[in-house]
Structure 1
Amino acid sequence: MGPSDRGSLTASPPRARRPPVDQPAEALDRPASLAGLSEQQAQARLKTDGFNELPRQEHRTPLAIVGEVLREPMLALLLVGGGIYLLLGDVQEALILLAFACASIAITTVQETRTERVLDALRDLTSPRALVIRDGTRRRIPGREVVRGDLIVLGEGDRVPADAVLVQAQDLLADESLLTGEAVAVRKSVATTVPPTARPGGDDLPFVYSGALIVRGSGLAEVHATGAASEIGRIGQSLRMLDTEPPRLRAQMARLTRLCAIGGSAVSALALILYGTLRGGWLDAVLAAITIGMSMLPEEFPVVLTVFMAMGAWRISRARVLTRRAASIETLGSATVLCTDKTGTLTENRMSIVELRPADNATIAPPTPLTALTPQAQALALHGLLASAPQPFDPMETAFHAFARTALPDTQLPSRAGWTLARTYGLRPDLLAVTQAWRPDAAKPACIIAAKGAPEAIAALCHLDDTRRTAIRQALDAMAAQGLRVLGIAKGAYEGEDFPETPHGFTLTFLGLVGIADPLRPSVPAAVRDCRTAGIRIMMITGDYPETARAIARAAGIDAGATVLTGDAIATLSQPDLQQRARTATVCARIMPEQKLRIVQALKADDAIVAMTGDGVNDAPSLKAAHIGIAMGGRGTDVAREAAAIVLLDDDFGSIVTAIRLGRRIYDNLRKAMGFIFAVHVPIAGLALLPLVLGDPIIFAPIHIAFLEMVIDPVCTLAFEAETEEDDIMRRPPRPPSEPLFSPPLIVWSLLQGLLVFILVGGIFMFATLRAMPADELRALTFVSLVLSIVSLILVNRSFSTSLVTAIRRPNATLVWILAMVVAVLAASVLAPPIRGLFRFGPLHWHDLALILAVAATVLIVLETAKIFWRDRLRF
């Protein structure tokens, strides 16, 4: 059955009024044998099978979140480092380090606690109610108390509480999109024999499934599976067998920190040996080695990672994107494939009328100004409304109501004109159409007849000849090629009180065809363009039909030129063959939940970094298996949100691009901070060892190290984190998955920066030593030159892709405040005698200051020039 008639039977009778709770089942005109379970039987089965609910992840309390944060190895290194400084007596450095650790813990805890609270608000804390028959009496009970064998009463607007088989049904339609991903409701019918079990999504099946929504009709069903044994429960159980993708960046950072710690220890050991050997004072040598070790301890690396991840989660939350696991931010910038569901993700998950084809075959694409609608188009709008339920639950009937309110004057709306519904003819297997008779005046027998349904059924009711049927079929094919759901509309009139037994007794006139679709979200085409420009391949994975999927992909701008990969084809492919097909596939249609998981696994096996969006229960396994699982917060289910790493609060596909953009920005700024940290420690290590080799006074005392840390720590954490994004951030391909954070090109660039500063500042130190400059003046000259050269390094590293002039124009209030404080403290240490004595500095003369400024300017000019010529080679 194609999109032309799939789900096309959408009209429904007026909702039946239900008897009050505890009214005997016989009052429902059902057989007396349908008395349901006894209360004793229900309680016994409840003890045996357990409650009708899915296993849920335990709620993460703030204390539990703090415990998880403290178990992070990077944060543990921070705390251990602070303890070591405290034992060494450097209280100031210890407090600074511990303050950063505590701030990181607080930021992460507050952010993740807020995420849990929002998820709790999204989650329905009360179990949905269920109407069951027990001991022959209707009772409303919590859904979690439904058991196998219960008879459940279903009506429009009810959520099915458990998997069940229908024993009675009247014009029943169910929305099973949570399980299938397909927005269109499916017809249900009663089985004449005991049927085999079937998967959700098919028409005329006798099964209803837990989580489905009844959008039309009524029925009675016997429960055969609850909780984890239900279709929705089996999907939840499969999540337990999947491991969350481990974060790669933390492993890289731990390895880098170990290497730097080894390097710092080697420098300290070398300082100890040189000092003790060349100067003979081994106690002083130990103190000097400890001081140098303090300057080389790589505590900035874990500080930067922890703060960047916590602040990144906060920044992304401002874009209405919740980060359930902060480590997922690191992966956003490297996503190469974005697997997206169609219904509710690319589309608005609401049906709307997008095309009208009146009987004269003129095509009209709403929305059209009211004055421009032809009388034929208005007749289609009116009679489509008249053939729909007065209070619709079905999304397509809701679309007819919404369109009629826009296209018709209020005086023509039945609800405003006081019309009454006199008779409804529901759909039957042999007539896939709904016909309704409306009486404009209760005192007169004249009725307006409206019919809506499958085009071939409407053609039969209108007794059209072969020529007209052929024309309708051609129009139908053209509309179906666009992925539209197509309904035929007819009108008629009837006089009298006695209505015919079937709609064939009316004389009906064919009015035309109506095309209905689930429209794209307005932000989707632009978001898809951004993803394609950024080198991210979009793959749409949907349970819908290929024609509909191809049409949506075309409208969204997704490359649909390749052959659509269907679920039936995937079922016949081995995993290596699927891996080969998945490399080029852009549209996957009629996909079952386990096939979504296979697709994600095939992409991962091909070294792709996979982001997966979804909102239904059927998406949960693939959300958890993907590198980045992105769930919809508004329409998403609890299972999907708990399986995902990221939750979109506004369900907007465009927010995914915002999150990817922020992820790339965070990763870029992280690399800038790492490069700066590595570069700045080269001259510090060199200047710590140079006086020992030359036999000159040591430059660095603990207060100098503390001052340097006051510059380095806030800059590499707060200032670089606040840097705005690069201009080409969404015009470059994703970084290779195997590329380390601290890549060889970045190491080369950092070494070049550090060596340049060491050569220039070390040259000043040696020149001043040869000129026999006093030790305190020598220390002041060298240290101030180093600090201002570090400021030059900060400015150079603000951007990899733009010039210094462009970078300076970018706002960064945090950096301005930090540099202002650095300059103020540095000026006080040189000009104010008490502070100058604390730093053991001598006075500096104007020519000394000129030399210092010349060194800082040289660092800036040389590195900016090198960045221009070597940017492509170093892959910045």
Structure 2
Amino acid sequence: MTYNIPSHLKGLSQDEVNSARAQYGYNQLEESHKSTWFELLVGILKEPMLILLIVISLIYVIVGDYAEAAFMLVAIAVVTAISFYQDNRSKKALEELEKLNEPLSVVIRNAQVLKIPTRDIVVGDFCITEEGRIINADGRILHSNDFSVNESSLTGESFSVFKDSTTADNLVYSGTITVSGLAVFQVQKIGKETRVGKIGESIRTIKEEISPLHIQIQKFVKTMAIVGIVVFLLVCLFSYIDTKNLVGSLLNGLTLAMSVLPEEIPVAFTTFMALGAWKLMREGIIIKRSSIVETLGSTTVICTDKTGTITANIMQLNHLYDYRSDTAYAKDEFDNEVLNELIDYAMWSSEPLPFDPMEITLHTIYEQTHKKDLRKSYQLFHEYPLEGRPPMMTHLFENSKKERIIAAKGAPEAILRVCQLTDLERDKIRKIIETFAQQGYRILGIAKSHFEGDNFPAKQQDFAFDFLGLTVFYDPPKEGIQNVFEQIYAAGIKVKVITGDNSETTKAIALQAGITNDAPAVNGSEIVGKSEDEIMTIAERTTLFTRMFPDAKLAVVNALKKKGEVVAMLGDGVNDGPALKAAHIGVAMGSKGTEIAKSAAALIITNDDLQKLIVGIAAGRRIYTNIKKAVQYIISIHIPIILIVSLPLFLGWIFPQIFTPVHVIFLELVMGPTCSIVYENEPIEKNTMKQPPRALGKTFLSINELGRSIVQGIAITLGILFIYQFTVQHGGSEEKTRAMVFCTLIFANILLSYANRSFYYSIIESFKNRNLLLVGISFIVLILLFVILYCRPVASFFDVTALSGSELAIALAVAGISVLWFEIYKLAKRM
């Protein structure tokens, strides 16, 4: 963006910037607290699992079992290290996202226009603001052009206020919105000293929402913690009545409490969400809060703007229709004197410093077709901003001789309505408009007026206008957009186009872009005055919404939400703000989007490529599926651990304490990385984007979903209990029985981690999705198992004995049967 800024505005030097920062600090309301490594460590040590380990270590020290105590201390160090690694990884990912979410501001320093982080603005800076931008400091206007600002965040008044350096109120305030034009202001107050800072508001702070899945996970973990306490007390009591050994009873109870606590689940959830958001950031998708990742995968409807989202937003001027000559001219015929007046007024009705692609094109055409450039001779002295339904805008220019130009442009219907034409003439022009619109062209009407004196009408529509003609733009669909919509439809997601353009143009572009539509388009004016139920019916059946204004867009989004849809709204303009804020997932365009759109949105696509939304939805589905795999794996493997610790004790079997805290903590150390590191790294399954979206409130913690995990866990338990009795029946000692049970459970754990990679495809098919972390961790676990079995000091410590090849084969076979029956279930499901 090139700014036409007066040359005398030089801005601060770097030394002046440094001096101002030393005196006034950074432009931020409150320095958010960053957790130190020590605070992270203290937080980890407060976790229930770590507290249990510390208690068990102390008991071992008290009874003089220093080897067991030392192992527990090592276990505490390992669990802490894993948790610290995960927490630190999540924290860094979120910090990176935070940096990217910080808005940029435009300043003049050393006579150069620079983009800087908003927090780096200092008192004395010359800031530039333009249409659609949030003002990020309090200051005094030095230079402006057609500048108006909405101060509703401070005053509650929603109308815009025109200001310049000569008005009585020439101040601008942080948190307000530039509605039109451009201004350069000198910063007077920053951060907490601004008006918005004084009243304690924070424009940039986004409150973290707790997702339905997060709430259910918290409830599940709390429930399991309560179960753990109850079971701990029961086992302690039962064991003490049986043995009269208080220390042994406490250890039994604590062992079972450790096996019940699914502390890996909240860790896995937080890690998956934070890292998912971080990975999307690397793809050019900035997510403002990590919980949006889960919601992305549930998207059922995408509401998209047309211009710049479906189309390339290049706005080629393809035709000019001149009313007086009643002729349409192609772009190679624009250098024709007949068109001079039409081109003149099309340019004058645009902003003097254009940033809209159509207005930039009109200025360029003016330059190419006019030898004498009058733009510096005339000054904009009065304007009517873009408004009305459909909208139009009017500019009034005057030169030093008091000669005036009054130019208007807007939606053809709006211009025809205010021009002095007969009904026959209007009908004739409407047919021409319809012909162009059916080819996907975007059309603006151009008109001129004459007015003496300064008592201007309150509304631009009250001028007496003469119709001059039409500007006919072509904004082609983006390359590859048809493929994008094919993927959206294949994923079971509906598409709604919500645009300010007319219905004929929108229909043509939708057809070219591959959008499925079998219903008539609905105009924004048709939504006004309708009841909530009527709007819900319209929103459900309609694909193309045209001539939409902010309130109508908001009404459609809210209606879709009431119908139970999970709505992603794509937009880039100021008028998209309310709908972006209301949608489950507001998506703003990073390159061409206004600051208002970016502020209201939950997700920003940095390169404006709609394909990135598909990437985001796929990532949301992958992450949800992987959390599901991790949690169901945790539940399935916890069940046999709980039952193997408790059943021999309750049933009075020969070896009641088959597992001690040492064995359980080893299993916990195996399970932690598997669920939170390995499954997070699991690639997306090939059928994921061909499934319909899941309902937002539906999670894998329902009884139907958990039933599968419980059955898997019980099957593994039956296999291990069989091994227990099989070994005992064949004269196995306690050490031999423990080794067989332990070995079978480890094998079952490894096989389960592979079986649960997919709840649909076979293990063999899942191997096509490479996950080297899973292979690596499985290999490490097997090495550790063999060290435990065959390294005598370690085997003695774990109270196990070496197993023969045939015994290992039996353990592997039983583990295989206990787990791999699930492959038959999946085969039946596929068939």
TM-score by length of 1: 0.67
Structure 1 position 421 matched with structure 2 position 372: yes
Which of 215, 222, 241 lines up with 1:258 in the alignment?
222
Residue 552 (str. 1) matches residue 509 (str. 2) = yes
CA distance in 2, matches of 1:744, 1:16: 64
Aligned equivalents of 2:599, 2:784: Cα separation in 1: 49
Change (3 A) 1:376 1:805: same
SS at match of 2:497: strand
Q: Does the 8 Å contact 1:542/1:589 carry over to 2?
A: yes
Closer, same or farther: CA 871–264 of 1 in aligned 2, 3 Å: farther
Cα deviation code 1:426-445 (max 9, x no counterpart): 9999xx999xxxxxxxxxxx
State the SS of the aligned residue for 1:809: coil
Given candidates 99, 103, 109, the residue that maps to 1:117 is 99
Q: Determine the structure 1 residue equivalent to 2:110.
A: none
Letter in 1 for 2:817: T
The one-letter amino acid paired with 2:178 is G
2:34 aligned partner, one-letter code: L
2:195 counterpart residue number:
none
Assess, with a 3 A threshold, how the Cα gap between structure 1 residues 518 and 69 changes in structure 2: closer, same or farther: farther
- 1:313 maps to what in 2? 277
For 2:275, the aligned partner's letter is M
Q: CA distance change for structure 1 residues 269 and 484 in 2, over 3 Å: closer, same or farther?
A: same
Partner of 1:61: 32
Are 2:521 and 2:544, in contact at CA under 8 Å, matched by a contact in 1? yes
Runs of 4+ with >6 A deviation? 15-22, 64-71, 75-78, 237-244, 355-359, 381-386, 388-392, 400-404, 422-429, 452-456, 467-473
* Residue 86 in structure 1 maps to residue 86 in structure 2: no
User: 1:130·1:146 contact (CA, 8 Å) conserved in 2?
Assistant: no
Aligned-pair CA distance for 1:266: 4.0
The code of the aligned residue for 1:211 comes to: T
In the alignment, what sits opposite 1:527? Answer: 484
The answer to whether the Cα contact below 8 Å between 2:720 and 2:745 also exists between their aligned partners in 1 is yes
CA offset at residue 298 of structure 1?
A: 1.4
Determine the structure 1 residue equivalent to 2:793.
834
Aligned to 2:250, which of 257, 270, 286? 286
> CA offset at residue 742 of structure 1?
1.5
Mapped to 2, the partners of 1:420 and 1:866 lie a distance apart of 79
1-structure distance, mates of 2:774, 2:587: 33
Contact 1:92 1:706 in 2 (8 A): no
- Structure 1 position 765 matched with structure 2 position 724: yes
Shift of 1:807: 0.4
Match of 1:343 among 297, 307, 319: 307
Report the CA distance between 1:96 and its aligned residue: 4.0
Amino acid at match of 1:317: M
Shift of 1:536: 1.5
CA distance in 2, matches of 1:454, 1:751: 62
Counterpart for residue 536 of structure 1 = 493
Q: CA deviation at 1:93?
A: 4.1
Match of 2:90 in 1: 108
- Structure 2 matches for 1:307-706, cutoff 5 A? 307-353=271-317, 378-380=332-334, 393=354, 395-396=357-358, 398-399=360-361, 420-421=371-372, 476-486=433-443, 515-692=472-649, 693=651, 694-706=653-665
**Partner secondary structure for residue 541 of structure 2:** coil
Q: Any stretches of 5+ residues in structure 1 without a counterpart?
A: 1-14, 23-55, 132-140, 165-178, 181-187, 189-208, 220-236, 365-374, 405-412, 435-451, 457-466, 490-511
Alpha-carbon separation, structure 2, partners of 1:163 and 1:239: 13
Once the 2 structures are TM-superposed, how far is the Cα of residue 244 of structure 1 from its aligned partner?
Answer: 7.5
Q: Is 1:804 paired with 2:804? A: no
Q: Given that residues 683 and 758 in structure 1 are in contact (C-alpha distance below 8 angstroms), is that contact kept between their aligned partners in structure 2?
A: yes
For residues 740 and 65 of structure 1, do their structure 2 counterparts lie closer, same or farther at Cα, with a shift above 3 Å needed? farther
- Pair 1:287–1:433, CA change in 2 (3 A): closer
Alignment check: 8 A CA contact 2:321 2:470 kept: yes
1:601 to partner: Cα distance: 2.4
Residues in 1 aligned to 2:36 and 2:508: alpha-carbon distance in whole angstroms: 45
Aligned counterparts of 2:752 and 2:707: Cα–Cα separation in 1: 15
* Cα distance in 1 for residues equivalent to 2:500 and 2:426: 31
Find the aligned partners of 1:105 and 1:345 in 2 and give their Cα distance: 37
**Structure 1 residue 566: deviation in Å?**
2.6
Distance 1:401 1:812 in 2: 55
Q: How many Å separate the matches in 2 of 1:241 and 1:578? A: 33
- Is the contact made by 1:614 and 1:631 (CA closer than 8 Å) also made in structure 2? yes
**CA–CA distance in 1 between the matches of 2:686 and 2:797?**
45
Instruction: Quickly say closer, same or farther: Cα 1:453–1:313, change in 2 above 3 A.
Output: closer
Asked if 2 retains the 8 angstrom alpha-carbon contact of 1:620 and 1:640, the reply is yes
Q: What is the alpha-carbon root mean square deviation over aligned residues? A: 5.1
Give, in angstroms, the shift of residue 649 of structure 1. 1.9
Name the aligned partner's letter for residue 681 of structure 2. Answer: A
Report the identity percentage: 31
Cα distance, 1:587 vs structure 2: 2.4
Equivalent pair of 1:304/1:717 in contact (CA under 8 Å) = yes
Pairs within 5 Å for 1:3-402: 58=29, 61=32, 63=34, 79-89=47-57, 90-120=72-102, 122-124=104-106, 125=118, 144-145=138-139, 155=145, 160=148, 211-212=178-179, 214=181, 246-353=210-317, 378-380=332-334, 393=354, 395-396=357-358, 398-399=360-361
Pairs aligned (count): 686
Distance 1:730 1:81, change over 3 A: same
Change (3 A) 1:357 1:643: closer
In 2, Cα distance between equivalents of 1:617 and 1:531: 26
- CA distances 1:492-517 after superposition (whole Å, capped 9, x unpaired): xxxxxxxxxxxxxxxxxxxx997413
CA pair 142-455 structure 1, distance change in 2 beyond 3 A: closer
Amino acid in the other structure paired with 1:708: L
The answer as to whether partners of 1:272 and 1:289 remain within 8 angstroms in 2 is yes
Distance between the aligned counterparts of 2:718 and 2:484, measured in 1? 48
Q: d(CA) in 2 for partners of 1:121 and 1:859?
A: 55
5+ residue gaps, structure 2 = 11-26, 58-71, 107-117, 130-134, 153-157, 163-175, 184-200, 384-392, 396-408, 414-423, 447-468
Using the TM superposition, give the Cα deviation of residue 863 of structure 1 relative to its aligned residue in structure 2, in angstroms: 1.6
Q: Structure 1 residues 585 and 99 mapped into 2: Cα distance closer, same or farther (>3 Å)?
A: farther
Counterpart for residue 398 of structure 2: none
Distance change >3 Å, CA 356–CA 711, structure 1 → 2 = farther
User: Which fold has the larger relative contact order, with Cα–Cα distance below 8 Å and residues 6 or more apart in sequence?
Assistant: 1
- Asked if 1 retains the 8 angstrom alpha-carbon contact of 2:519 and 2:542, the reply is yes
In 2, distance between residues paired with 1:238 and 1:543? 32
Matching residue of 1:787: 746
Deviation (angstroms), 1:772? 1.7
Distance between the aligned counterparts of 2:754 and 2:371, measured in 1? 76
The whole-number CA distance in structure 1 between the counterparts of 2:711 and 2:665 is 25
Q: Do the aligned partners of 2:94 and 2:278 also contact (CA within 8 Å) in 1?
A: no
**Per-residue deviation, residues 501-559 of structure 1 (Å, max 9, x unmatched):** xxxxxxxxxxx997413333335332222222111122222333333333333333333
Q: Aligned AA for 1:527?
A: V
- Matched AA of 1:585: T
Question: Which of 710, 719, 723 is residue 678 of structure 2 equivalent to?
Answer: 719
SS state at 2:587 partner:
strand
TM-score (norm 2): 0.71
**Distance 1:382-1:298 versus aligned 2 partners, 3 A rule:** farther
- 3-state SS of the aligned residue for 1:338? strand
Is 1:857 matched with 2:816? yes
Following the alignment from structure 2 to structure 1, what is the Cα–Cα distance between the partners of residues 358 and 276? 41
Question: 1:506 is matched with which residue?
Answer: none
